[in-house]
Structure 1
Amino acid sequence: MLASGTNALPLSDCYALDKGNFLYDFTDKLGRALELEEEGSDFVVRFCVDAQNRSNNGYINFGRFSPQSIFKNEKDDVDFIQEYKFGDLVLCEHLGSDLTGRVAEVRIICGTCPNGPACKDDFGCICNVTYTHNLCKAKVLAALDCSNQGSRIFPEFSMGLQQKGSEVVKNGITQKEYRKSFHSSGFESSQKSVSLYVTSTADFPGNLEKLDIQVQPSQGLVVSVVNRPVLGIISATDSTNLLEVNWKCEKISEQPYEVNIRIPIEGYDPIDFSLHKHCRDLDTEKGVESSSIKVLEVVPVIILVGVILLGITYKCKFEEQVEGREDTFQAAIEVPLV
């Protein structure tokens, strides 16, 4: 059974996937403080922002939130792992030439702290903090309210306009620029097709031949998709596959056409993304075809007129020749006999 939040996508980089690949969007909790509820401690995680120890003189920064490092945890007994990197460098230069500074690893449990009271804040709290490597790394265990389970994502799937870049779908999640009703960019009238590179790090439980296409407005743009994978199926062992979207403008429109494409995935929520196509003029091929038709219509008329003119010219010359012969014949008759 799919989650109740079908097709819901995260509104920011503040999200996570659980062990079952269900999405949790924490956008509304972005910046909320998770605090260690122990006397004499002042360690704070500003959720999806940074991690701080505010004790002593001022505070020590244990890193800023890194959106690329939200992981679902496959082996341990926690639900999510977040990483906060590039904190204060003082006494931490020995970690390497890259000078990464202090780091905080935040391990999150959905529910309450083990062997502890419930959090005072309904959002959650920090259960404990341990320090390693001369205080250059903090390991944080936090409890969080995870009641907002969303769509089930297939994170091993990605799709891009360029190979290994310009993602339309990244790790199973449609990127902001390609979500429905987002009109910041679009393909121009002169571009007749676009190639989408499709990759998967695991066998894809779907079939690309069964994708659904809806165009808004429904009239004026003809769209077809050619899929290169055999039988529409992609495998982790295959090389990069291609989907080619072809379109033809049949009606000029001031606003771009919205092409909504849905890829169904067995056992997961479908992948939805939108492309926008401008039709400021009709396709060149159609214009050439129309011009050819007009030429074919005009050619017989030109030939007919030419034949008539040729006939008139021939008649005039013939009459001139006949008149000339009659004059000569008359002159011959009038010559007196000797």
Structure 2
Amino acid sequence: MLVELAIPCVKHGFRVFKGFTIGFHPRSWEVVYNGMTQLGFEKPHHEFSFGTEQTHVSLYLTAVSALSDLIRKPVFKVYPDKGLEVRLSGSAASGGAPTTLSPTILNIEWRCEIARDAPYVINISIPVENYDPIEFTLTKLCG
């Protein structure tokens, strides 16, 4: 028996924003590589959590220059919504267009207000015009 399955795509157009990377250093891609969120950052993972003592993390965003102006300001949501104060800053947070020669920086400053056994989950979404948004997850321990 041969079964074919076809699922209609509601959204037409490009889905993955190829040529876009996010890493912890200017030329790295631990978080997002070629538009795809990497293992460990696609959903909450306790083993990828940042410790209580780490008050900030900087991410470097790069994109092919021909498409970099399609990238919009990142937005975030924290779960649970009380107990961790999060603030975004840097050239990426203010809407700067990243290129491979000139990455933009997204500084994530977080301060624990309420200790918990489970990590806080920070979902970050970077809208890209005419593409699906780039989404990744960071987790923060507050012991």
TM-score by length of 2: 0.83
Corresponding pairs, count: 137
- Inter-partner Cα distance in structure 2 for 1:167 and 1:149: 32
CA distance, structure 2, for counterparts of residue 254 and residue 244 of structure 1? 25
CA apart distance, 1:236:
3.4
RMSD over aligned Cα atoms:
2.4
CA 1:214–1:230: 2 relative to 1, 3 Å: closer
Q: Deviations over 1:193-229 (max 9, x none)?
A: 0010110113321222xx2211111110000010225
1:56-88 residue CA offsets vs partner (Å, 9 max, x unmatched): xxxxxxxxxxxxxxxxxxxxxxxxxxxxxxxxx
Q: How far apart are the structure 2 equivalents of 1:196 and 1:149?
A: 35
Contact 2:125 2:133 (8 Å CA) reproduced: yes
Partner of 1:232: 95
Aligned to 1:158: 21
Gaps of 5+ in 2: none
**Structure 1 stretches of at least 4 aligned residues deviating more than 6 Å after TM superposition:** none
Between 232-241 and 248-257, report the one with greater CA deviation.
232-241
CA distance in 2, matches of 1:232, 1:269: 17
Q: What is the match of residue 206 of structure 1?
A: 71
Matched, 1:270 2:133: yes
Question: Distance between the aligned counterparts of 2:71 and 2:15, measured in 1?
Answer: 14
Assess if the C-alpha contact under 8 Å between 2:96 and 2:104 holds in 1: no
Q: Which of 67, 79, 82 is the aligned partner of 1:219?
A: 82
Which TM-score applies when normalising by structure 1? Answer: 0.37
SS in 2 for 1:167: coil
Separation in structure 1 between the aligned mates of residue 107 and residue 72 of structure 2, nearest angstrom: 15
Paired position in structure 2 for 1:279: 142
1:148 shift after superposition: 5.4
Amino acid at match of 1:170: Y
1:44-63 pair list within 5 angstroms: none
SS of the aligned residue for 2:31 comes to strand
Mark the runs of 5 or more structure 1 residues left unpaired by the alignment: 1-119, 124-144, 281-338
Deviation string 1:121-168 (CA, Å, 9 cap, x unpaired) is 667xxxxxxxxxxxxxxxxxxxxx8x4577701111110112323510
Structure with the higher fraction of residues in helix conformation = 1
SS in 2 for 1:176: coil
